Amino acid sequence: MTTLRNPRPGRAYTGAPNTIIAGDVNLYYRDWGRGRPVLFVAGWSMCSDSWGYQMMALCRQGLRCIAFDRRGHGRSSDPGGGYDLDTLADDIAAVIEALDLRDVVLVGHSMGCNEIVRYLTRHGGARVTQVALLGPMTPGITLSASNPHGIDPALLAQFRSTQLLHDFPRWIEENVEPFVPGAGPRMRDWLAQMALQCSLQALHDCHLCVEESDMVAELEAVDVPVLLIAGALDVSAPLELTARRTAALVPDCRLVVYEDAAHGMFLTHVEQVNGELLEFIRAEV
């Protein structure tokens, strides 16, 4: 069974239209369709807008699709802190509680996968029936004695100091192509706009949060079926470092690898991803 941590006290509730109030943060969310709920958690620097192609496809198949903007991202508030995995997992719990979601399917991308895993170990899986992880950053990306093929933390720190905190727009311009290879200029502009509207503090602290994550034990405790989708061309979350290690740790996991896809496979391989998600969800009906 999942080991529970100590979730923060207090209750979340819906406030102004499309807003969930949870402690010191207002979380913007979108809620489309009727039926079994599917909750989407975006990746680093992305917001709920990024899930539009999945939400449209799944809600047309009789599912209720919800996505929210992480604190400091998109239209959610910028509280000046709380960019640790425990608090971010509590924000997922706030959305689930405020909307009273049950039998929910959690779908995460990149950093969102870490948040989902922490939600399960911190709050339990009583309301969750399935999980889909796309391009995960789990179990850990940083070089260590237990992760000899990880990324040198000095390189990650250098990104934050010389690129993120120096010329983030330029970094986006240079790195959108590896994220969505072959995408058109309007798609690249759209992704850049999402990233540029984020709080710089949120981007910095969330990046550091991912660097410090070691989720081996937590992945072993996941007790719901997991679909894992990864791209063989992913340079943000290299396949052997992330997805294959994650799949080996989760007790009930099916790994799907797209040989010609990168980190943003849910945008470049829309039909394939949507089909995988729908098949996975329907398997539990």
What is the full DSSP assignment across 194-231? HHHTS-HHHHHHHHHHHHT---HHHHHT--S-EEEEEE
Residue 107 is classified by DSSP as: E
CA distance 258 to 159: 28
CA distance 260 to 76: 34
Active-site annotation holder among 73, 207, 263, 269: 263
Task: Look up 263 and say whether it is catalytic.
Answer: yes
Q: 226 near 253, Cβ under 8 Å?
A: yes
Task: Look up 204 and say whether it is catalytic.
Answer: no
The answer to whether the peptide bond before residue 139 is cis (omega within 30 degrees of 0) is yes
Active-site annotation holder among 123, 234, 236, 269: 234
**Cα dihedral 25, 30, 36, 42 in deg (nearest 10):** -70
CA distance 115 to 86: 8
Task: Look up 149 and say whether it is catalytic.
Answer: no
Active-site annotation holder among 45, 110, 199, 236: 110
Q: 281 near 35, Cβ under 8 Å?
A: no
Q: Which residues are catalytically annotated?
A: 110, 234, 263
